[in-house]
Amino acid sequence: MTSPYGPSGRFVERFLDRLAQFRLEDFEAVVRRWRATLRDSDAWYAAEDAVGDAVARARRDGVMWTVQDRIYEVFRGSTWYEQRPPGTPVAPSEMAAQYLATTAVVALLVADVLPGVVLGVLYAPFRDAIPLAELALGGTVALEPGVADRPPGEQAREDLDGRAWH
């Protein structure tokens, strides 16, 4: 059966499944990692631009909106979200977590047409919580440890199907 999320859909679906199991503490760790290492990096913003270009080139903007709606459902359907007292405002870390999850899943959506360094940068906040190798389910290790912490010109990775990107 073909994924509704396109050629990289199996990775998107596995990411969404794992994300739906997160607790609030898991999201807080992701946000801390992003704030500590990537938030103010030019590489982060360049990678966001590259993903937008890849979505346009691959003509996956419609699918992108579908996956963004799914992220919204994952967050609003989470136990931790539903157990908040009515009228409780959303914490800034919750908003940041949703932004980071959306950014990562859109990068996964176009992983088949995206340079590995870009995927490495945008997926880095989730690298420890949901390793890319876990999304590949026994496939080749997808991202070298510490790759997002190195300057973009020094980053290399193997994509989810095992091809080397440099």
pTM: 0.75
Could you state, in order of their start, the residue ranges of all structural domains in the chain? 8-162
pLDDT at 103 over 70: yes
Name the percent of the chain lying above pLDDT 90: 34
pLDDT digits (tens, 9 = 90+) for 69-78: 898 888 877 6
Tell me what percent of the residues of the chain surpass a pLDDT of 70.
70
What span, in angstroms and rounded, lies between the C-alpha atoms of 61 and 102?
14
**pLDDT average, residue stretch 75-83:** 68
The predicted pLDDT at position 50 comes to 95
- Least trusted range by pLDDT, from 40-49, 112-121, 155-164: 155-164
Beta bridge partners of 143: 157
pLDDT digits (tens, 9 = 90+) for 8-61: 888 999 999 999 988 888 888 999 899 888 766 788 889 999 999 999 999 999
